Structure 1
Amino acid sequence: MKRPVLVTGGAGFVGSNLADALLQDGERVIVADNFSRAGVSLNAEWLRDQHGKRCRIEAADVRDREHMRALVAEAGQVFHLAAQVAVTTSVDDPVHDLETNLLGTFHILEAARALPVPPPVLFTSTNKVYGGLEEAPVYLDGDVYRFVDREAGIGEDAALDFHSPYGCSKGAADQYVRDYARIYGLRTVVFRMSCVYGTRQFGTEDQGWVAHFARSLLAGEPVTIYGDGCQVRDVLWIGDLVKALRTAMHRIDRVSGEVFNIGGGPSNAVTVREVIDRLMELTGADVPVRTADWRPGDQRVYVSDNSRAGRLLDWAPTTPWEQGLEQLVEWLREADLVTPVSSSAAMGEIAD
């Protein structure tokens, strides 16, 4: 019998969407999650309701080495998505951040390496491994920050510069995953992801800023931007990311050891204020938009150069950001998630 697919962090935003797509195609899936984030229990219940026994829900923490060894030993493929994902949390508790992001990834790699036939491992990293992008100067063009000379965006050859404990833990894990392909012959792939948004995302102040803004505006709450709102991100619809994840795993023998920058690309590069303005139109909200000081190390511009993914995965994002925002707001309304989420919605450092 074909072995199940293991998705760590499988009840989270990306994990639940990936698990659903795999299950719809007839795969058996082990969803491993420690249920520490808001909304993940709802995602797990949804997966169970949709797919029954083919979706096995495991309460598991990637810091638990023996539990990871047992789960990886069952798996035919491993999508390692579990992580501590908030920059601010990493600053407040760097030990927890390191143990989850670096040590947890190390447990997955070692569990795979110990097997006679190791399953392939796909690891989701972050654009934060590039730090402040000092080598890519920007300028303010009216109300939009732009790169001086990188119209296609940031490629995988950009200098690594880990800022914040989050950037350090994810960056170190990123390098371990790559090196296990070189040294031990494991079949691994790294995705350095930009800002992903979409259905089944329960945004918070620290992470998932697009969904967080949408929920706040639907609830009639004011929103706060750290910075001037002219900062740019290439937002990526979750369905497009799921296609990229699955394609990379299907082509693992051809792309093992590769790293891919994965984001919305130049066609989906928008300012924070543009996103808020469109969400206000979609929600009918009329609330104050406040500004606060920039967060240290926040990038003025981040846009992914997806050309390597285009060449090796035949992949490119297909969902325009305007359409994606419409689908997100529609889902939030249908899921009855129009509830206050904080006293003031805020965009801090934009992580993933």
Structure 2
Amino acid sequence: MRREIAPIVVVGGSGFIGSNLADSYLRDGEEVIILDNLSRPGVDKNLRWLKGNHGDRVHPVLADIRDLGAIEPVFSDAKAVFHLAAQTAVTTSLLHPIHDFETNARGTLNVLEAVRKAGGKAPLVFASTNKVYGGIDEIAMAEFDDRYIPTDEVLRAHGFGEERKLDFCTPYGCSKGVADQYVLDYAKSYGMATAALRMSCIYGPRQFGTEDQGWVAHFLICALRGDRISIYGDGKQVRDILHVKDAVAAYRALLRSIDDVKGKAFNLGGGPQNAVSIRIALREIEQMTARPIETVNADWRAGDQLYFVADTRALQQAVGWKPEITWREGIRDLRDWLVENRFAAARIRQPRRATA
């Protein structure tokens, strides 16, 4: 699989973040290999979109990261690797923990080994998760009508930093946590240029959100359809949501600075300025779609943090990145993309822009 131009390999490149990241490099004129098994419903549409926009510079390889022999040739002449392929739902990990482990832990080790066997020169950036910090149950919270807020002033001002101890929880947290640590160790043990981004909730165009993963897109899709939405817990859980354009910018910035940040993990999220609870997000979506949203309450789910906001100051200082898109702008952008791409036949009234 030798090529005249060394390609960028995006593992999981047909997925939500992967397709947006691949598109950004393809628009720069790069050759991009999309390594994906197309197991997630809808991602084949993302691959067709990439091929339709960029033609022969897109090189699809349909293979599974659990099969080391099948993926080894893909990395033979890669100049950079982004590893975003994963089993992404906590609920699925609880039902199928072995599959979760084989995909997230074993699959990541296979990717690392494939890069190492190819010479280990290609830098690798890994998509980790804030779930490596566990449920964060010991943090004192103040409860308000529509959100939880930490009583600690520093946490309220900045969020959780990378110095927080790891505390793997649920099979998903364990499998991604194992992968996270392997990625960092390959920089120490083998001198490879590896780094990780521990992500909060990323949302935006090309996301096929479900009840189990991608909740912002899921809520918007349900609202546009007029479907009832299940709320697990009381809906006061807070997350710092980050638009995919800002996430792509972070991945690219980390790669540019890989020699300075190799062997390190950084938190990636919208930060305190983009922290919203489920109730607040639903209220905003209701206004944006001009449709009432019917909800039903269900039991809390395992590993569901009452509050997680990423302290991204370390990432900002290391690579010069910061989020640019506010959460209201971002949700509006996703609404517009869904209306154009998934609900084009529907006549959906667009309300006036909501004020902060």
Query: For the superposition of Structure 1 and Structure 2, which TM-score range results when normalised by the shorter chain?
Result: over 0.9
Deviations 1:331-351 (A, max 9, x none): 001002479xxxxxxxxxxxx
Question: Paired residue for 2:102, among 90, 99, 103?
Answer: 99
Structure 2: state its 5+ residue gaps: 346-356
CA contact (8 A) 1:215 1:337 kept: no
SS of structure 2 residue aligned to 1:235? strand
**What corresponds to 1:272 in structure 2?**
278
**What corresponds to 1:336 in structure 2?**
342
**What corresponds to 1:109 in structure 2?**
112
Q: AA paired with 2:39? A: S
Decide which moves more: 135-144 or 196-205.
135-144
Q: AA paired with 1:313? A: V
SS of structure 1 residue aligned to 2:76? helix
Q: AA paired with 1:44? A: L
**What corresponds to 1:136 in structure 2?**
139
CA distance in 1, matches of 2:123, 2:29: 19
CA distance in 2, matches of 1:8, 1:248: 17
CA distance in 1, matches of 2:273, 2:123: 32
CA distance in 1, matches of 2:29, 2:49: 17
**What corresponds to 1:60 in structure 2?**
63
**What corresponds to 1:307 in structure 2?**
313
Shift of 1:143: 2.6
CA distance in 1, matches of 2:112, 2:229: 41
Question: Paired residue for 2:328, among 291, 299, 322?
Answer: 322
CA distance in 2, matches of 1:268, 1:252: 27
Question: Paired residue for 1:224, among 230, 244, 249?
Answer: 230
CA distance in 1, matches of 2:342, 2:137: 42
Normalised by the length of structure 1, the TM-score is 0.94
Q: AA paired with 1:85? A: T
Deviations 1:215-256 (A, max 9, x none): 011001111111111110000000000000001111111111
Change (3 A) 1:37 1:118: same
Shift of 1:61: 0.7
Q: AA paired with 2:182? A: Y
Change (3 A) 1:320 1:158: same
CA contact (8 A) 2:246 2:324 kept: yes
The count of corresponding residues between Structure 1 and Structure 2 is: 340
Percent identity over paired residues:
49
Q: AA paired with 2:20? A: N
Question: Paired residue for 2:28, among 25, 29, 34?
Answer: 25
Deviations 1:53-88 (A, max 9, x none): 001111111101012211111311100000000101
Q: AA paired with 1:129? A: V
CA distance in 2, matches of 1:287, 1:305: 32
CA contact (8 A) 1:215 1:338 kept: no
**What corresponds to 2:352 in structure 1?**
none
Q: AA paired with 1:260? A: F
Normalised by the length of structure 2, the TM-score is 0.93
CA contact (8 A) 2:288 2:332 kept: yes
CA distance in 2, matches of 1:180, 1:137: 36
SS of structure 2 residue aligned to 1:88? helix
CA distance in 1, matches of 2:109, 2:172: 16
SS of structure 2 residue aligned to 1:122? strand
SS of structure 1 residue aligned to 2:114? helix
Question: Paired residue for 2:302, among 296, 299, 303?
Answer: 296
**What corresponds to 1:343 in structure 2?**
none
SS of structure 2 residue aligned to 1:74? coil
Structure 1: state its 5+ residue gaps: 340-352
CA contact (8 A) 1:218 1:338 kept: no
**What corresponds to 1:82 in structure 2?**
85
Q: AA paired with 1:108? A: V
CA contact (8 A) 1:32 1:59 kept: yes
SS of structure 2 residue aligned to 1:261? strand
Deviations 1:68-116 (A, max 9, x none): 2111113111000000001011111111100100001001111122233
CA distance in 1, matches of 2:302, 2:253: 36
Q: AA paired with 1:241? A: A
Map 1:94-243 onto structure 2 (within 5 A). Answer: 94-149=97-152, 150-151=155-156, 152-243=158-249
